[in-house]
Amino acid sequence: MGRVAFLFAGQGAQVPGMAADVKDLPKVKALFDMAESIRPGVVGAMLHGTQEELNRTILTQPTMFLADLAYAYAEEEAGTPACALGFSVGEVPALCFAGALSEEDAFRAIVRRAELMEAYTERVHGCMIACVKLPADKVEALCDGVNTHPANYNGALQTVVACRAEAEEAFCAKVKEAGGRAMKLRVSGMFHCPELAPEAAAFEAFLRTLHWQAPRMDVYANLTAAPYAGDFAATLAKQMCSPVRFTESIANMRAAGVDTFYEAGPGKVLTGLVQRG
Residues catalogued as catalytic: 88, 192
Q: Are residues 149 and 259 in the same domain?
A: no
- Give the CATH number for residue 138: 3.30.70.250
pLDDT at 144: 77
- Note down the domain range covering 253: 3-123+193-276
Q: Are residues 214 and 87 in the same domain?
A: yes
Q: Are residues 15 and 33 in the same domain?
A: yes
Contact 175, 181 (CB under 8 A): yes
Task: Give the tens place of pLDDT for each residue, 168-215.
Answer: 999 999 999 999 999 998 787 899 999 999 999 999 999 999 999 999
Q: For residue 277, name the pLDDT band (cuts at 50, 70, 90).
A: low
Task: Give the tens place of pLDDT for each residue, 42-78.
Answer: 999 999 999 999 989 999 999 999 999 999 999 998 7
CB atoms within 10 A of CB 2: 11
| HSE-CB of 202 using CA atoms within 13 angstroms | 12
Task: Inform me whether the pLDDT recorded for 40 exceeds 90.
Answer: yes
Q: Are residues 18 and 75 in the same domain?
A: yes
Contact 99, 147 (CB under 8 A): no
Contact 266, 13 (CB under 8 A): yes
Work out the mean pLDDT of the chain and round it to a whole number: 94
